[in-house]
Structure formats: structure tokens, C-alpha cells
């Protein structure tokens, strides 16, 4: 799926919808650490991963941007460090001007006010005024993979981020995940609309029937029951 189709397909899908779809399909749910947050609220980010490891100098970022394609997302591995900010306004502006869709950092940023002005979707572990005070040796895999928490991502993955967090999904599963996530989203919206009009979720889910089924067979879970009737609230 190319970057334009990826943007259009995932424009109205949230990370919860997509996480539920991954679980139902059997794809590992790879989330950035829970404290990976957007610089401003109501952020939505999607794009192919352009991975890069940080070693203390910005030149590796410039090389990654030079190699990336429009629509990609710069995913920066700074080892989750909390003693330095590795990306600020200039690299963010360079990323934006190159046509990339955003930045995700396993680490910290700085120049928060400037980032809000640039308005490129941006996720990190938080802000810190001080930049790197080191220059380490660059490894051979600096531009081929990036660790984000417990997960390693490559250009074979894409990233989806919003106010609930950041997910990484295999690119070759993008269409299947989106199709199911759309079904889950639409089902939940219909359920919510009925609730607003006075039909409780218990009634929609025929909760009394579930309790009876569980009494007859204690191994029956609510998740299994919901799937059997087309519910989508729990995965």
C-alpha cells in the first residue's frame, strides 16, 4: 500500500480500532511505551516507518530524511533516554519540508513551542531543554531498524498514532487490518448511537442471554459471546 492510499485508508481509524483488529486477525499488537505522547492533542499520524538510530549528532537524521519518501514517518530510536533531547525545531522543520508525515521518538524532544508552530505530527516521551552532549560511533544498522520500547520496527512496517498512543503494523497487513478495523469502528458507532437514543448496551448485547449461556457453560466468555452476535466492544 503506497503512502497516499495508506493516508486515505487510515484517515478515520483510531488506534483502538486498529489494535482490536490486529488482535482479532492474530497480528502481534506492537505499541510504543504508554508514555509516548503527542506534542499537542487531536493529533493523527500515519505513514511507513523510516527508521533511524540516534548517536548524538543530527547528521544521521539528515541522512534518514534524505533516504525517506514523502509520506514516511521518521521513527527515532534514542534508547528511551531521559537525559537528553534528540530532536528539536530544525530537524522537525527539515522533516516537514521533505514531505514526511511526522516523527515518533523513543526519547525526548525540545523546542516545544516551535514544534507546535511547525505542526508536524510529533510523538515522544516528553520534553527536556538540554540536547546531546555525546557523539557515539554509528552502527551499520543505523538506518535499517529502530527500537521503540520492546519492539523493533523497519521500513516493512507502518505507524499509526493518535491521542491514545502509537501502534506499529506490518505494511503487508495494512489492507486486512483496515478492513476489519472499519467494521469494528462502524459497529461501535452504531451501538453508541442506539445508546444515545435510549437502548442500553446491555439490551443490545442481550446480556441476559449471555448470563444464561455462561450459567450453562462457565467456559463461555463475554468476548466469545459478543463475537457470536456481531458485537465489537471487547476484543
Mean pLDDT for 28-45 is 96
Q: Give the confidence band of 204 by pLDDT, cuts at 50, 70, 90.
A: confident
Which stretch, 13-22, 134-143, 222-231, has highest mean pLDDT? 13-22
Cα diameter, the chain: 65
**Within 10 A of 229 (CB to CB), how many other CB atoms are there?**
11
Candidate CATH numbers 3.90.650.10, 3.50.30.40, 3.10.20.600, 3.30.950.10; the one for domain 3-176: 3.50.30.40
| Residues above pLDDT 70, as percent of the chain | 97
Range 185-219 burial, b when 16+ CB lie within 10 A, else e = bebbeebeeeeeeeeeeeeebeeeebeebeeeeee
Task: Looking at the chain, list the stretches that DSSP marks H as alpha helix, in order from N- to C-terminal side.
Answer: 3-10, 15-25, 59-67, 89-97, 112-118, 174-196, 201-204, 207-216, 222-229
pLDDT value at residue 226: 81
pLDDT at 235: 44
User: What confidence category does residue 232 fall into, taking pLDDT thresholds of 50, 70 and 90?
Assistant: low
Residue given cell 533516554 in the structure block: 81
Q: Which of 1-10, 56-65, 162-171 has the lowest mean pLDDT?
A: 1-10
Q: Is 110 flagged in the annotation as binding?
A: yes
pLDDT at 142: 94
167 Cβ contact partners less than 8 Å away, ≥ 6 residues apart = 15, 18, 19, 22, 29, 30, 31, 32, 159, 160, 161
Domain chopping of the chain, boundaries:
3-176, 200-229
d(CA 43, CA 36): 13
pLDDT in tens, 215-231: 888 898 888 888 777 65
Q: What is the pLDDT of residues 79-123, one digit of tens each?
A: 999 999 999 999 999 999 999 999 999 999 999 999 999 999 999
Residue 2 C-beta-side C-alpha neighbours within 13 Å:
3
The answer on whether 90 is annotated among ligand-binding residues is yes
Residue 89 known to bind ligand: yes
Amino acid at each position: 500500500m503506497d503512502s497516499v492510499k495508506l493516508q486515505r485508508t487510515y484517515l478515520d481509524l483510531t488506534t483502538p480500532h486498529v489494535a482490536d483488529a490486529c488482535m482479532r486477525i492474530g497480528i502481534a499488537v506492537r505499541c510504543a511505551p504508554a508514555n509516548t505522547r503527542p506534542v499537542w492533542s487531536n493529533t493523527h499520524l500515519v505513514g511507513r516507518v523510516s527508521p533511524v538510530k540516534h548517536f548524538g549528532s543530527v547528521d544521521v537524521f539528515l541522512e534518514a530524511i534524505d533516504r525517506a519518501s514523502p509520506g514516511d514517518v521518521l521513527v527515532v530510536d534514542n534508547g528511551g533516554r531521559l537525559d537528553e533531547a534528540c530532536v528539536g525545531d530544525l530537524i522537525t522543520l527539515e522533516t516537514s519540508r521533505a514531505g514526511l508525515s511526522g516523527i515518533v521518538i523513543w526519547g525526548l524532544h525540545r523546542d516545544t513551542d516551535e514544534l507546535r508552530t511547525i505542526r508536524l505530527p510529533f510523538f515522544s516521551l516528553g520534553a527536556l531543554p538540554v540536547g546531546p552532549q555525546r557523539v557515539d560511533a554509528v552502527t551499520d544498522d543505523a538506518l535499517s531498524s529502530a527500537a521503540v520500547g520492546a519492539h523493533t520496527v523497519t521500513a516493512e512496517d507502518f505507524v499509526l498514532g493518535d491521542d491514545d498512543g502509537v501502534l506499529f503494523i506490518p505494511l503487508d497487513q495494512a489492507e486486512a487490518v483496515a478492513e476489519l478495523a472499519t467494521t469494528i469502528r462502524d459497529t461501535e458507532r452504531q451501538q453508541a448511537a442506539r445508546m444515545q437514543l435510549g437502548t442500553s448496551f446491555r439490551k443490545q448485547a442481550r446480556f441476559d442471554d449471555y448470563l444464561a449461556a455462561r450459567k450453562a457453560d462457565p467456559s463461555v466468555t463475554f468476548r466469545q459471546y459478543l463475537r457470536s452476535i456481531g458485537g465489537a466492544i471487547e476484543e
